[in-house]
Amino acid sequence: MALRIIFMGTPEFSVPTLTALAEAGHEIIAVYSQPPRPAGRRGLDLTKSPVHQAAERLEIPVLTPTNFKAEEDRAAFAAHGADVAVVVAYGLLLPEAILNGTRLGCYNGHASLLPRWRGAAPIQRAIMAGDAETGMMVMKMEKGLDTGPVALTRRLAITTEITAGELHDALSLAGAEAMVEAMSKLEAGSLPLVPQSEDGVLYAAKIDKGETRIDFRRAAGAVHNHIRGLSPFPGAWFEAEIHGKPERIKVLASRLADTPYPAGTAPGTVLDGALTIACADGAIQLLKLQKAGGKPLDAIEFLRGTPIASGTVIASPPDAKAAS
C-alpha cells in the first residue's frame, strides 16, 4: 500500500526526488514550495520555483505559504491527513507543529555526511574544505538544525576536479534513489534510525559574497578548491585591469599546475600566456573564465579578447589575510 506523502521542496535539486516518489507509486497529496519570486531584468515577472512547476506537470496541488506562523497554515497542513512529509531543500524552518503534523513525521534529504556540514551550503563547503567524500542522507527531522537520526546514506567521492554544480547534480539523483528506498522501508516498518554522533559536527554557513573573491596568497590547492566549490554559482572571481580599467572576472574551472617560478615571486603573478598563476605554495592554471555580462569561455578563447599579460600581478582582496 502506497504512502500518502506531502512533498516540500523548492529548487531544481529537489525535483528528481519528487518525480521518483511519484513514479514509485506513492500518493503525493500536496506539494509545498516557496512562493513565486520576481524574475527577469526588471524583476517584474513572478516565477514559480522548479518544484512548483514540476508539481503542476504532475497535476499535484501546490501550496506556497511564506512561513508557518499562521494557525490556518498549520491546520491546513494537518488536514491533509498525510502519512509522512518528505523535505528536500525547502528553504523554510519548520516548526514543531509541522514536524509532528503527519502520522510518521518528516524525513529530510540532506546533501552531506552528517554530522559534518549541517546547514545551508553543504555541497560548496565540502569541496572548499577539500573533503574527499560526501553523500546524501535521509534523516528524520527534529527541532534542531539537521540534528535528527539518520535512516539511510548514499556516499559519493569528491574527485579533485569536480565542481559544486557537477556534485549538485550527482547528489540530486542519489538523493532521489535514497528517498525512494527509505520510503519503501518506512512503509514496510523496517526503516532504521541511528542517532547522529556528537563528534565531528561542522556547520555549512550560507555562502557570503564577501568570501567569493580569490586570494592567490593561499596555497594552490586551497585556491583550486575555492574555485570549484563556487562554480558555477555564485562563482569565485578576481579583478584585473583590462584595457585600462578594472574588471571583475569569474573563474569557473581550474587545475593545479607544476609550472616552476623563481623564489620570491609574488602570489597572484601571471606566469605565462596560459593563465598560470603563482600562489603561496605552487601554482594554478585558470581553465574557464567569464566576464560580467559575458558567456563562459575556455582560457585560450578568453585571452583573445581579454589580454592578461605574463608578469601581471593580480591583487589580493584588500581585507584578506594569507591562509593555508
pLDDT digits (tens, 9 = 90+) for 115-164: 999 999 999 999 999 999 999 999 999 999 999 999 999 999 999 999 99
Angle formed at CA 208 by CA 202 and CA 213, multiple of 5 degrees? 110
CA distances, 142 to each of 94, 98, 150, 202, 244 (Å): 9, 10, 11, 18, 56
Size of the chain, expressed as the number of residues it contains: 324
Domain boundaries of the chain, sorted by first residue: 4-203, 209-305
252: alpha, beta or left? (left if phi > 0; alpha if psi -120 to 50): alpha
Beta strand segments in the chain, E: 4-9, 27-32, 37-39, 45-47, 62-63, 84-88, 106-110, 118-119, 133-140, 150-157, 203-204, 236-242, 245-257, 276-278, 283-291, 297-298
Determine the residue type at 160. T
According to CATH, what is the number of the domain 4-203? 3.40.50.170
d(CA 192, CA 185): 8
Give the per-residue pLDDT at 41: 66
Q: Is 14 marked as binding a ligand?
A: no
What does each of the 324 residues of the chain score in pLDDT, given as a tens digit? 699 999 999 999 999 999 999 999 999 999 999 999 987 666 678 999 999 999 999 999 999 999 999 999 999 999 999 999 999 999 999 999 999 999 999 999 999 999 999 999 999 999 999 999 999 999 999 999 999 999 999 999 999 999 999 999 999 999 999 999 999 999 999 999 999 999 999 999 999 999 999 999 999 999 999 999 999 999 999 999 888 899 999 999 999 999 999 999 999 999 999 999 999 999 999 999 999 999 999 999 999 999 999 999 999 888 655 444
At residue 141, φ and ψ (nearest 5 deg) are -80, 145
Give the per-residue pLDDT at 322: 47
d(CA 70, CA 72): 5
Determine the residue type at 27. E
Report the candidate in 161, 145, 175, 131 with the shortest Cα–Cα distance to residue 11: 175
Q: Say if residues 221 and 282 touch (Cβ distance below 8 Å).
A: yes
Q: Say if residues 279 and 320 touch (Cβ distance below 8 Å).
A: no
What's domain 209-305's superfamily in CATH? Answer: Formyl transferase, C-terminal domain (3.10.25.10)
Q: Do domains 4-203 and 209-305 have the same CATH topology?
A: no
Give the per-residue pLDDT at 260: 92
CA distances, 51 to each of 44, 87, 263, 298 (Å): 21, 12, 53, 33
Report the candidate in 172, 176, 6, 195 with the shortest Cα–Cα distance to residue 99: 6
Strand 133-140 to 118-119 pairing:
unpaired
pLDDT in tens, 105-117: 999 999 999 999 9
Judged by DSSP in three states, 265 sits in coil
Q: Is 316 marked as binding a ligand?
A: no
d(CA 218, CA 112): 26
With a CB cutoff of 8 Å and minimum separation 6, the contacts of 228 are: 127, 161, 162, 163, 164, 253, 254
Beta strand segments in 164-322, E: 203-204, 236-242, 245-257, 276-278, 283-291, 297-298
d(CA 67, CA 70): 8
Q: Is 193 marked as binding a ligand?
A: no
Q: Is 167 marked as binding a ligand?
A: no
Beta strand segments in 100-230, E: 106-110, 118-119, 133-140, 150-157, 203-204
Report the candidate in 61, 48, 57 with the shortest Cα–Cα distance to residue 23: 57
